[in-house]
Every structure is written in structure tokens, then in C-alpha cells.
Structure 1
């Protein structure tokens, strides 16, 4: 959770704000349960670069608790149940936020809110899914969540460093990760799909205030900091519902860049955003007559050359409350060319 949003959450909690009604679901929004794409990568050529793919992902993958300013995904159960359903739906990039807890462990948080899951839950669900679907791969962004500031969490003192704890997990799950991506000393080159089938690929290990930890992940993302960078669009502050069109345009412009760029380069595009005056569900689904990012995306991806240059590659598209039609459209781009 970003710092400004974390502070806002505390303010609203103190004021006992009444939640707004849930927005109507559609093909782009809050219909993940209708999506079933557990093996969509398996038929793709093994020589395909991971960077060349269009991959549906989720922002704050595990965030289902804490109220309207914190929830970013539909709730399919604690202890990794939500992640498991997303994987079955076709989600292949996940965004996990961890707190350092007692016993040198990671618990999953969105800001101050514990999401009723631990990192073992995450790795267990990933391992079970990939064992059952060995033609797939999952890309992981892992971030140290706690800043110790108002509205955020605080890591438990007296524990090992974040990187050392992460290493202890990779040692306990030695066959789960694509090893070049979890090597502290050297960033990995972006792999071909055949190299990483049945594995988790760490894209980046982010610190709590931005920047990368050591050299974990893909070398291309050495400049991935808090917010946007060369290969990442993450303009996460949407100041009000009236600012949603600006966010839509940021996502659109980065989509166009990604679609036209060299296919050996990976791009990550966050469709998410929020503030005290624009809840994640409103940014994703729309509110007060303003079109949300998700329905805009589904329309934009379906439009042909008579409207604009068609998008042929989305890169990693990180979504809040994704719908089955939007997930299916992103996946379909991989076989449309």
C-alpha cells in the first residue's frame, strides 16, 4: 500500500466511513469466477520470450481485507484461496506484499491490514498449481510492505533481513523458483517460455520505499522503483473519481508503447490506482458516470484499425477486480498475431 493511501485509510477508519454499494459486475470487472484458463500458456511455442507475451496480472494480488480503500481483488478465501482462483482464471503475474514477522517469516499485508495469509500459503498454492499445470509459469513481484509509518505496518524487530528471509524460503522450495531469478548476486536475462515452464519467475524484489533489493529478479528491472520507471507504468495516485480519465490515458499510452516496442523487452502496466477520494473499485469499475479503467481497457483492446492502431501485445497488465472477458482478451492476444 502506498504511503498516502495508508494515511488516508487511517483517517477514514477513524471517521467510520460507510462503504458504498458494490458496483455492477460485467465482462471487464468483478467476474473473475467466470474465467477458467488454467493451461493457456501450454500450447504456446517454447521459444517465445516471456517478454513477448500478453499476460493478465493482479495488483495487490492477496488484498481482500481492510475495507473499501484496501480491497483490490474479489475474495475467494483466506490462506491463498484467492490466489488459487486467480491462477485457475488465467492470471500469470502476481503482486505480493510481505511483512517481516516472528520466526523470520513473511505475512501478507496491504499496509497495516493483514490479509489472512502467509508467504507459505502463497508458495504452497503456486507449487500445487504448477505441479498440476506444468506448461504454465507465474511471474512474481515481491515487495517489502512495511514502512513503519502511520497507516502502514511495522516489521517485527530482531529478525533477519528481508533478503535473508527470502533466501530461506527459496531454500525450502528449491524446485519452485527459476533459480537464475532468485540469485542475489546477479540479475537474470529475460527467459524463453520453455526454460521456465512449471516455475515461478521472480521479476523484482522491491524495498518498502522503492528501489530494488540486491540483484534479485530480472536484470531489466534494476531501475524498478516506487511508481513508474522505464519499463513500468505505476501512476498509482488517482486523486478523485474525476481523475480516472487521466489514469485511463496513462494506461493507454503505455499499452501503445508496449505494443510497438521490441518483443525482447518486458513491460509492466498497472491499471490500478486509488486515493482517499477514489476507491480501487471505483478506479477499476467506474463511478458517478465516469468510465473505469477495466471497461475502457476491454473496449480499447477490442478496437480495430479503423479506430486506432490495434494493440498486439499488452505485456504484464496488472489489474484490480478483473473480469472474465478482460482476462480472456489479454490471453487471446498471444495467438492472434
Structure 2
């Protein structure tokens, strides 16, 4: 019996052991090779946020927890990884928070604490925007904990998530674009001149993706868990072979963004994962299957003789972005 159990255990470990993704290149795991701290500054004030092509990061601060959890290169705890992303040109971020004792937020990916608190996130954002007042950062904030297996549980006896968020906003006067953090009235999509030096809340999501109150931008009132009208987030990639399907989902939404309503923001998650396709594999590729990041860099670089040209990328939410991919997205502005 023990021998049979050992054989089964060994087989299971082979199945779930992470297969290395391809090596770093200009599309993958080379964030620091891009330096774009002021790319918005030269754009006209009247340009709508919806018209921009913006590189973003999925699970922006997920740098701990191993192959199943890590989604970004590690440039330091206390949200210093965020600073590195902002300097590279990232302007949309995806932050997941747990309600902690003292009515505070800590940053988690599932059950894994990411050695950062929401105070750290706001401090890094304030520091960057003070030094680069021509820029703006779009924030998706999600209550992370469901209390289920594999997730975290919020601390008991605390105030509601939105009440804690309001206290953070009140403690950082001038940091947020006020219409986006007004609980009772969702905001229209702003022009760049309205939001320079500010954080724009795109959406405040509950633990299962539902929208909390009327925070954020009005067009995202239907942003739930996964995909919705303006969001592509097919995050379940069941195995390495299914990365090809994820690539196609990203491509189709990219084409829809170019052809779609120019007054609307489109948010395209290039990320995905499962037990048998870790985030690094989906982003960088593995076992001879091309990852989403190198595919995107190629697709965005191809001319009209290959396919209908992309005219805007919308918000591309990336795992382990490379400097070349970030730079390519910015050329569409």
C-alpha cells in the first residue's frame, strides 16, 4: 500500500511541477529595459483616456508565492515593485486587498500576502505622480478574500470594504480624481487634462467580481468576475496547450478595440493560469507553445500586408511584461 501511494504521489508531483517558461526577451521578464516615466506628458490635454493605448499589469504586486501565484518581476516589497513598473511606463494597475485588523488593507494574491499594504501602494503612487505630474494612473481595486479554500479571509469585526477605502481616500487629499471615488455617482470617462497627477479608480470590485456601489467609471458598471462588455478576462487556461486559445482571445479583443466605440475604454487581460499552466508559462510560453507576450509583440509589429492594423490597444493587462512590449504599446499613442 505504501509503495502504491508513493508511486501515485510521484506521478502527481510530475503533473503539477512547474515547467519552465521560455527565457526572458523583449516581450517577457525585462521590465527594467523600458524607461518611460513621462510618456503622457507630451499628449494633448483633450485626449480622452479611452483613446489611449496603455500598458498595464495584472495582479500588479503579486511577487511572492511561487509559480502558481507570482505574476510580476520582483523589484522589492512595500510596493517598490509598483514604482519600477511606473517608471517603465505602466499606467493601469490591478490591486487586490484583504481587510486587515485596524480597518486597513493588506495586499494579497489569494492566500499569499505580498509584503505590501495599501498605504504602501498609495505612497508609491503619490511619490511618482508628484515627480511626474503630467502622468495619470488607472486603478482597478478588488476585495480579494472569499474565505474559500485557496483564498484569504478578511479580519472579523472590521468596517465594510468601501468604508475603509473612503478613509484611505480621505487620508490622501488630492491623490484621486474625485469623480471616480464618489460612492453615489459613477464618473464619465475623463480627458487627460482632467486627471494629470491623479489616480483614476476604474472600478471597485467585490470578492466575486461584483461592482461595489457606484465608484469608478460609469462604463464599467457591468465589470464582474471574468469578461464583460468592455473587459476580456478569460483567466482560466487549463493547460499549456490552451495558451493558443488565450492568445486568440486576446487578439480578437484587440481587434475589437481598434474597431470599437472610440469613446469607450477596453481592458484586455493577457494573463491566465491554472494548476497546469502557471502565469509565467501563459505569458512567456512553454513546451514549444508560444506565450501571449511574444505573440502580442509580433502581432503589434506586423504591417497591413499581414492583418488589419491595430489602431489602439486599449488597456493591455500583462503578466511579466518585457520592455520591448511596453515600448511597442506606447507607440500607438
User: Would the TM-score normalized by the shorter structure come out above 0.5?
Assistant: yes
Tell me the distance in 2 between the aligned counterparts of 1:52 and 1:217.
Answer: 18
Give the deviation of 1:20 after TM superposition.
4.3
**TM-score normalised per structure 1:** 0.94
The residue aligned with 1:156 is 155
Deviation at 1:18, TM superposition (A): 5.2
1:196 aligns with 2:223: no
Q: Residue 95 of structure 1 corresponds to which residue in structure 2?
A: 94
Structure 1 residue 23 displacement after superposition:
3.2
**1:271, CA displacement in angstroms?**
0.2
User: SS of the counterpart of 2:331?
Assistant: helix
Cα deviation, residue 262, structure 1: 2.1
Which structure: larger Rg?
2
The offset of 1:19, in angstroms, is: 4.8
Question: What is the CA–CA distance in structure 1 between the aligned matches of 2:294 and 2:183, rounded to whole Å?
Answer: 40
2:62 aligned with 1:63:
yes
Specify the alignment match of 1:34 in structure 2: 33
Following superposition, the deviation at residue 270 of structure 1 comes to 0.1
Check 1:282–1:21 CA distance in 2 against 1; reply closer, same or farther (3 A cut).
closer
Cα distance in structure 2, aligned partners of 1:231 and 1:23: 31
CA deviation string 1:137-195 (max 9, x = no partner): 00000000000000000000000000000000000001100000000000000000000
Whole-Å separation in 2 of the counterparts to 1:155 and 1:70:
19
Report SS of the residue matched to 1:56. Answer: strand
- Once residues 21 and 50 of structure 2 are traced to their aligned partners in structure 1, the CA distance between those partners, rounded to angstroms, is 35
Q: Which runs of at least 4 in structure 1 moved beyond 2 Å after TM superposition?
A: 14-23
- Return closer, same or farther for 1:280/1:306 CA change in 2, 3 Å cut-off: same
What is the Cα-based RMSD across aligned positions, in Å? 1.4
Distance in 2, matches of 1:225 and 1:67, equals 27
1:287 aligns with 2:286: yes
1:261 Cα deviation (Å)? 1.3
Structure 1 unaligned runs (5+)? 1-10
Q: TM-score, normalised by structure 2?
A: 0.95
Q: How far off its partner does 1:22 sit? A: 5.5
CA distance in 2, matches of 1:267, 1:305: 22
Match of 2:80 in 1: 81
CA distance, structure 2, for counterparts of residue 182 and residue 21 of structure 1? 41
